[in-house]
């Protein structure tokens, strides 16, 4: 457990990249299909029951929601994708907002991709995985609602998803999670610690010593 994540504070919501926190420091973005369990995961990780809103109305304005963890360290809750019945205009708005955020946000340092363990690797999930591979953005995957499956079945899904993703040849990490049972939280905190405080590659600082 890392209590630093419990001090998360809501900063603001915005339907575009204007009016967002200054693009400095490091920002970890939570992405996922609608209803995958993204808000519940953020609430469980921050130990705050109502930080990220749960069960939003389909079709409402899509927002980027920003949370401060520490000075210069933020979470952003990206709008969920996948309500079958949303109007085309909302889908278009979602695409534009995601594309703008993912391509322009300089402080974006990693994606946490939340998937329902019972429905992993949807088209949307593959798009995010491909985006991370294309840009080299670190990716950590949560297979959430693990409590909905027996332990053996959840573990099998984990192995299966790991196997499918191994072929794309990109170093991502993946784990089981349950916001309901609060399992997997330490593992996510550990992944976040590394994403927020990356270790410089060895040898970076040794150039001056060589001469
Ligand atoms: P979001 O749209 O991705 O933000 O999904 P939510 O966090 O709003 O969750 C969607 C639904 O799944 C809600 O009814 C949650 O209570 C439920 N849910 C989320 N996480 C879990 C979990 O770990 N276990 C179980 N059993 N239900 C969950």
| Tens of pLDDT, residues 149-173 | 999 999 999 999 999 999 888 889 9
Q: Whose CA is nearest to atom 12 of ligand 1?
A: 37
Judge contact between 137 and 106, C-beta under 8 A.
no
Average pLDDT, the chain: 90
CA dihedral 179, 131, 68, 36 (to 10 degrees): -20
pLDDT value at position 210? 47
Give residue 207 CA to ligand 1 midpoint distance, Å.
49
pLDDT value at position 62? 83
For ligand 1, whether the C-beta of 21 sits within 6 Å is: no
pLDDT value at position 84? 63
pLDDT band at 211 (very low <50, low <70, confident <90, very high): very low
For ligand 1, whether the C-beta of 145 sits within 6 Å is: yes
Cα–Cα distance for residue pair 36/38, rounded to 1 Å: 6
Cα–Cα distance for residue pair 199/203, rounded to 1 Å: 12
Cα–Cα distance for residue pair 50/37, rounded to 1 Å: 14
pLDDT band at 27 (very low <50, low <70, confident <90, very high): very high
Q: Whose CA is nearest to atom 16 of ligand 1?
A: 40
Mean pLDDT of the region 137-148: 98
Please tell me which residue, 74 or 63, carries the higher pLDDT value. Answer: 74
Residue 205, SS3 per DSSP:
coil
Please tell me which residue, 15 or 184, carries the higher pLDDT value. Answer: 184
Q: Whose CA is nearest to atom 17 of ligand 1?
A: 37
């Amino acid at each position: 457990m890392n209590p630093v994540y419990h001090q998360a504070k809501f900063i603001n919501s915005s339907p575009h990249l204007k009016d967002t926190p200054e693009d400095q420091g490091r920002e970890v973005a939570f992405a996922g299909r609608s209803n995958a369990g993204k808000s519940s995961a953020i609430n469980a990780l921050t130990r705050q029951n109502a930080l990220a809103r749960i069960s939003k109305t389909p079709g409402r304005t899509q927002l980027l929601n920003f949370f401060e963890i520490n000075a210069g360290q933020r979470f952003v809750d990206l709008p969920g994708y996948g309500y079958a019945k949303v109007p085309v205009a909302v889908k278009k708005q979602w695409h534009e907002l995601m594309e703008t955020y993912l391509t322009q946000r300089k402080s974006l340092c990693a994606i946490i991709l939340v998937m329902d363990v019972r429905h992993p690797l949807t088209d949307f999930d593959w798009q995010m995985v491909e985006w991370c591979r294309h840009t080299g953005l670190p990716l950590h995957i949560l297979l959430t609602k693990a409590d909905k499956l027996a332990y053996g079945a959840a573990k099998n899904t984990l192995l299966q998803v790991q196997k499918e993703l191994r072929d794309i040849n990109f170093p991502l990490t993946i784990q089981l999670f349950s916001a309901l049972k609060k399992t997997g939280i330490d593992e996510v905190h550990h992944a976040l610690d590394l994403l927020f405080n990356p270790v410089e590659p060895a040898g970076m600082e040794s150039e001056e010593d060589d001469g």
